[in-house]
Chains A and B, each alone.
Chain A
Amino acid sequence: MVIEVNQITKRFDAFTALKGLSLQVRPGELVALLGPSGSGKTTLLRIIAGLEFADEGRILFDGADAGERHVGERRVGFVFQHYALFRHMTVLENVAFGLRVVPRERRLSNHDIEKRVHTLLSLVQLDQLSGRYPSQLSGGQRQRVALARALAIEPRVLLLDEPFGALDAKVRKELRRWLRRLHDEMGLTSIFVTHDQEEALELADRVVVMNHGAIEQVGTPEEVYNSPATPFVYEFLGNVNRLDCKIKDGAVGLWGSKIKAETQDGRPVPSGEVAGYAYVRPHDIEFVEGGHALAEPAIVRHVAAAGPTARIELALEGHSNLIEAELPRQRYLELGLKSGQSVMIAARAARVFPATFDGN
């Protein structure tokens, strides 16, 4: 199903949670809403579900306005952050709930309801626990019951609010893979909210990076990671070094190479001299042999070499903050870097934004 979010604005008293936000989700897509807390991602999810209503703008499901429709009529499967299971019902009754509240003339027979519930429970691998109460289950099991319950009503869209937030790392990883498989097998259109970038990048087809009630960037995990559109996305996704610099006539000389500055919304970079930030990913820092023109002298301050990548902290002349570089273990051994050593570094890739466009 196509979900269209059209110029949605939502205010809570004086606080504006969403600022005229638009988004389109294609059928069969698994989309992640990623952002820090307070960025409006959960509010957006709840508005799509119909648990919250927008002050302005429209939500379209397959082109039809869903705005006036009550949450129960939208046929969305919603999985809550803390599962929201019915504690006085067994697992079986929890999953059957959505089927039992259907008006009598359309309701399945008891026999059919139970059959369907057992099919769903085997799908989430919990059929043997159908007689248990939620309090007798582990966190991961509860989450799967919540998912089975949401799927019971054959939703057109599956919406998940921080689905793995309350689980420990190992269970989280398992459930993540399992959810991806389920999504593909059932041909669902799904949107999930997360503040965990690793989760978003690993699981989603497309990632929507949000900040302060607006979308910073929409793209595949590769796109948002490799070519962040804004300083915020740069800083939010992955590690990055931010260097203060001066932009002169739209460009910056960084470590011997000249980099053109850009703005996040495509407006021209102010002419003359303006303050800016240069962003360099740690793995884009290269160590070059001495005497190279396109390089900058630096001093190694600290080396953390455990694991497949070595992390090296460098002090640059004229910069108070240390910058971080990452090297594959093999390359690190070849260079034989040690604390206190002088090196020459260069940037394989870097981007510059004027400071006035800083998303913070």
Chain B
Amino acid sequence: MVASTAIAVPPLGEYPQPRARFRWREPSVLPGFGLTLGFTLTYLSLIVLLPLAALVLKSLELSWDQMWEAATSARALAAYRLSFGAALLAGIVNLFFGVLVAWVLVRYHFPFKRLIDGLVDLPFALPTAVAGIALATLYAPNGWVGSLLDPLGIKVAYTPSGVVIALIFIGLPFVVRTVQPVLQDLNKDVEEAAASLGAGRWQTFRRIIFPSIMPAALTGFALAFARALGEYGSVIFIAGNLPMKSEIAPLLIIIKLEQYDYAGAATIGVTMLIVSFLLLLPINILQRWTRQRAGEN
């Protein structure tokens, strides 16, 4: 369970502080500011920055022309398109259904609710390869689900649709787990106030509840999207991995590695890193904006 809540109710009668100008050191009763900041920076450098720097360095072994060619070959472009497109699509699907699942889990009481609540986390725990194989078996033309879809002319396994299905699966918990605590903390009296003022259920949801859970839902969406971008294990079993068709960028990197083209692999990696950053940045800005609109700070 996600313990922190995105929305904190300010104590009654307390005036919010005017926004402080930047100060290097926040006054706090807890000692150890220097120590903790130092540890955080060192830790992040070792765990995140150093590998990323190594990645960039490796790609720099190539000349600019070679790099450009490796990054923008037709096969690589097709792989980016699939990776980003499928991740985005899966993220959007998870955004809607994640909010729905969170809503049902928070608002309704039904038998085996706790069990179902636990099921949500399963995609986190399951080895991705197992998930991939299971999904591929189900959606293959002779699988349980695939055999039903096959007569309709719908092919899921070994096509880009299969990639989206796998990414939806692994991204499901993110939105549910970010929205759930916010919904739980939503005061009932706010909804009652809306109802007493004449708002219908849909108006109450759209004008009152939705703005409150939007920041958390966006956070969940960003997490699911980011996770889907890097997903490898579950996808390769269901994707079919046809170059130009159903080959995701992470797989292309593996293929390059197997061909001992380390710099080429690093180049694709760096390209994905940059595009991901460019996509996550506006999502974060949007999230900040909705959070402010939700009455925080």
A residues contacting B by CB (< 8 A) are 49-51, 70-73, 76-78, 80-82, 84-89, 97-98, 101-102, 133-136, 138-140, 142, 146, 149-150, 152-153, 166-168
Contacts and interface: CB of A to CB of B under 8 A. Distances in A.
Contacts of B7: 87
B259 interface: no
A80 B293 contact: no
A133 B16 CA distance: 11
Interface of B: 7, 10, 12-13, 15-16, 187, 189-190, 192-200, 203, 207-208, 211-212, 293-297
9 contacts: A51-B196, A72-B197, A80-B189, A86-B194, A97-B197, A97-B199, A101-B199, A134-B295, A139-B13
Contacts of A140: 13
B65 to A, nearest CB: 52
A315 to B, nearest CB: 44
Contacts of A101: 194, 197-200, 203, 207
Contacts of A86: 190, 193-194, 207-208, 295
Contacts of A152: 197
Contacts of A142: 12
Contacts of B207: 86, 97, 101
A49 B212 CA distance: 25
B12 A78 contact: no
Contacts of A102: 198
B186 to A, nearest CB: 10
Contact of B16 (A76, A85, A135): A135
B189 A82 contact: yes
Given A88-B212, A138-B15, A97 B294 contact: no
A78 B198 CA distance: 11
Contacts of B211: 88
Contacts of A139: 12-13
B196 A78 contact: yes
B13 to A, nearest CB: 3
Closest 6 A/B residue pairs (Cβ): A87-B295, A139-B13, A98-B197, A84-B189, A84-B193, A101-B199
B189 A168 contact: no
A72 B295 contact: no
Nearest to B8: A135
Contacts of B197: 72, 97-98, 101, 149-150, 152-153
A88 B12 contact: no
A136 B212 CA distance: 17
A137 to B, nearest CB: 8
B16 A51 contact: no
Contacts of B196: 49-51, 71-72, 76-78, 150
A80 B12 contact: no
B187 A84 contact: yes
A153 B200 CA distance: 15
B292 to A, nearest CB: 9
A228 B197 CA distance: 38
A301 B199 CA distance: 62
Given A101-B207, A134-B295, A72 B193 contact: no
A71 B201 CA distance: 12
